[in-house]
Amino acid sequence: MFFKQKIFAMAASAALIILIGVLIKRRKLREEYALLWLFTGIGMLVLVIGYPILLWLSNLIGAVAPTTTLFLFAMLFLILISIHFSVKFTTLSDQMQSVITELALLRKELEDLKKGKASG
Amino acid sequence: MIEDALVIMPAFNEAAVIEDTLAELKQYAGKVVVVDDGSRDDTGLRARQAGAVLLRHSANLGYGAALKTGFSYALRYSKEPFLLTFDADGQHDPALLESLAAPLRKGGSDYVLGSRFLERDSSSAPAARKIGSKIFSIATSALIRQKITDPTSGMIGLTRGVAKIFLSKFFPLDFPDADVLIMLSRMGYRIQEVPVRMREARRPGSMHAGILKPAYYLAKMSVSMVHFSLRRDLKEKRREIESVF
């Protein structure tokens, strides 16, 4: 891995970790959603700093260049993050449906109560 | 007049036709619940003026979600032993609701499906949609080992027991279809088809119009059918769901 590549990868990982930290601090991102992003940043940083680990991993998966291993792992993390969000969306749409159903039923109950009060 | 079944009518932007549909329906059904699925027009107001019980969604969630709200209302606030669904666009003939309720009343079925193709084709759907429906009918029939001719029908009758299943997370939010039939059959519910006629909708338009939506629907339905076909725990899930309510 060239020195420039190493510096760029380290800067990108550090920027990602700092950005996530700032977003958590400003309460724009909840810790539970930040975890995967933090793992991505820390993972990239570990692989760049611990160059022998990167070489060993590249050898293990049969990658020609260590940079390919970095990109591959970054992509795998992105896929995991996308799946994580799809699961969250599914849960959220189920919850939204329950809330809207409950709201519709409560609204009807309230209307009936008001009607009863007005006539009684 | 049907007094032992609650009619649930999902409606979305049907202000132009809902009064006529309800006026006709009222001659046959004692109690009608309209679920206004976040309409941007005054569908809800007109439905209430026409004498229906009105439940309003604050956002548009889809046909399946509107049915879920109707079923929730039925299980919580009404005593009718059977539930019937009816489209707001006037395509369904209310005189045929009795043919959906009768098999439920006799106790021989838990889920009755009004089929447009059982006797003769009474659907005015485009040819491509009919072909899609036919493919799903064949696949469903093979998977549940029972002849099904119209899995996409919006005219259905069900017991309160089946409604409980529909309130679980197994029920799709967009549209109940062949996947639901496979699920119910695997859960041990008895399904029956009865012939119904479809009329021209009072308001043209379909949720399956365009190219992307049918393609998405085809893919989603295939995944859902495979999912329910492969599951081996559906009878157990039925017991779990029925015991919770």
Identify the pLDDT of residue A50.
85
Query: Among candidates B216, B241, B103, B108, which has minimal Cα distance to B162?
Result: B241
Q: What is the ipTM of this complex?
A: 0.78
Question: Which positions in chain B touch A110 (Cβ < 8 Å)?
Answer: none
Identify the pLDDT of residue A1.
64
* Tokens 């549209």 found at: B175
Q: Is B232 exposed, middle or buried (0-12, 13-18, 19+ CB in 10 A)?
A: exposed
Does the beta carbon of B72 lie under 8 angstroms from any beta carbon of chain A?
yes
- Quote the CA–CA distance of A19 and B176 in Å, as a whole number: 44
In the predicted model, is pLDDT for residue A33 greater than 80? no
User: How do the domains of chain A map onto residue ranges?
Assistant: 3-119
CA distance A35 to chain B (A): 28
Instruction: List, in sequence order, every residue forming a beta bridge with B85; answer none if it has no partner.
Output: B8
Does the beta carbon of B61 lie under 8 angstroms from any beta carbon of chain A?
yes
Q: How confident is the model at residue A77 (pLDDT cuts 50, 70, 90)?
A: confident
- Quote the CA–CA distance of B140 and B176 in Å, as a whole number: 13
Question: Which positions in chain A touch B169 (Cβ < 8 Å)?
Answer: 94
Identify the pLDDT of residue A119.
66
* Interface subset of A 85-114, CB within 8 angstroms of B: 93-94, 96-97, 100-101, 103-105, 107-108
pTM of the model: 0.83
Q: Which residues contact B225 (CB under 8 A, 6 or more apart)?
A: B136, B139, B140, B143, B178, B179, B182
State chain B's mean pLDDT as an integer. 88
Q: Where are the alpha helices (DSSP H) in A26-65?
A: 31-49, 51-61
Domain that holds residue B138: 2-244
Distances, alpha carbon B115 to alpha carbons A25, A78, B222, in Å: 58, 46, 21
Distances, alpha carbon B211 to alpha carbons B12, B178, B218, in Å: 21, 20, 11
CB atoms near residue A25 (< 10 Å): 9
Mean pLDDT of B48-77: 94
CB atoms near residue B104 (< 10 Å): 23
State chain A's mean pLDDT as an integer. 87
**What is the percent of chain B where pLDDT is above 70?**
92
Question: Which positions in chain B touch A108 (Cβ < 8 Å)?
Answer: 53-55, 73
Of A93, A100, A105, the CB nearest to B58: A100
CA distance A100 to chain B (A): 6
- Chain A interface mutation, best of B55, B57, B69, highest count of A Cβ atoms under 10 Å: B69
Task: Give the long-range contacts of residues A85-91, CB within 8 A, separation 24 or more.
Answer: A88/A33
User: CB–CB of B56 and A107 under 8 A?
Assistant: yes
List the CATH number of the domain containing B180: 3.90.550.10
- Cβ atoms of residues B20 and B202 within 8 Å: yes
Identify the pLDDT of residue B188.
95
Q: How confident is the model at residue B207 (pLDDT cuts 50, 70, 90)?
A: very low
In the predicted model, is pLDDT for residue B228 greater than 80? yes
Does the beta carbon of B74 lie under 8 angstroms from any beta carbon of chain A?
no
User: CB–CB of B65 and A100 under 8 A?
Assistant: yes
Q: What is the pLDDT of residues B70-116, one digit of tens each?
A: 999 999 999 999 999 999 998 899 999 999 999 999 999 999 999 98
Identify the pLDDT of residue A120.
58
Q: Is B108 helix (H, G, I), strand (E, B) or coil?
A: coil
Mean pLDDT of B120-147: 81
- Quote the CA–CA distance of B153 and B100 in Å, as a whole number: 12
Q: How confident is the model at residue B66 (pLDDT cuts 50, 70, 90)?
A: very high
- Chain A interface mutation, best of B49, B55, B75, B224, highest count of A Cβ atoms under 10 Å: B55
Question: Helices B178-187 and B234-244 meet at what angle, rounded to 10?
Answer: 80
Question: Which positions in chain B touch A114 (Cβ < 8 Å)?
Answer: none
**Interface A:B, Cβ pairs < 8 A:** 39
